[in-house]
Amino acid sequence: LLVSNFHSVLYAASDHSFPSNCTETHLICKTGLTDLIYYLYSDEGLNHECKLCNQTFDSPAKLQCHLIEHSFEGMGGTFKCPVCFTVFVQANKLQQHIFSAHGQEDKIYDCTQCPQKFFFQTELQNHTMTQHSS
């Protein structure tokens, strides 16, 4: 299977409650992959807005990467994993790392209004402004 938008795979797997990767092989099970692909392609072409700066993106993965960049503004161009503290020089590399190395249980920011959890405070802020603002 060739997935052209790898960032979308990373976003969907890290932000939604699909079956997590196998802890031994780090592979997604067939059912989880089917659900993930359905999610990715059912969301194509929609606008995904950053409520922090009003910039829009054509995929949830690009929005997530942008929100990671917001998290590290003024930090000298480095991106530190909030779970294991590994440092990256690109936001998308941190995004890939989080997808491959950490799961739902590692998310540290809880939404107080729904069960969603996030790795970054900027993701939580954007979620709250998007889903829970009136």
Q: Higher model confidence: residue 73 or residue 11?
A: 73
Q: Which domain holds residue 68?
A: 6-131
Q: Say yes or no to pLDDT of 52 above 90.
A: yes
The alpha carbons of the chain give a radius of gyration, in whole angstroms, of 14
pLDDT at 131 over 70: yes
DSSP letter at 105 equals G
The pLDDT of 28-40, averaged and rounded, is 52
Question: Is residue 1 a part of any domain in this protein?
Answer: no
The model's pLDDT over 87-128, given as tens digits with 9 standing for 90+, comes to: 999 999 999 999 899 988 999 999 999 999 999 999 999 999
Residue 32: its pLDDT value, please?
52
Q: What are phi and psi of 91, to 5 degrees?
A: -60, -40
> How many domains are there within the chain?
1
Average pLDDT, integer, range 1-20 = 42
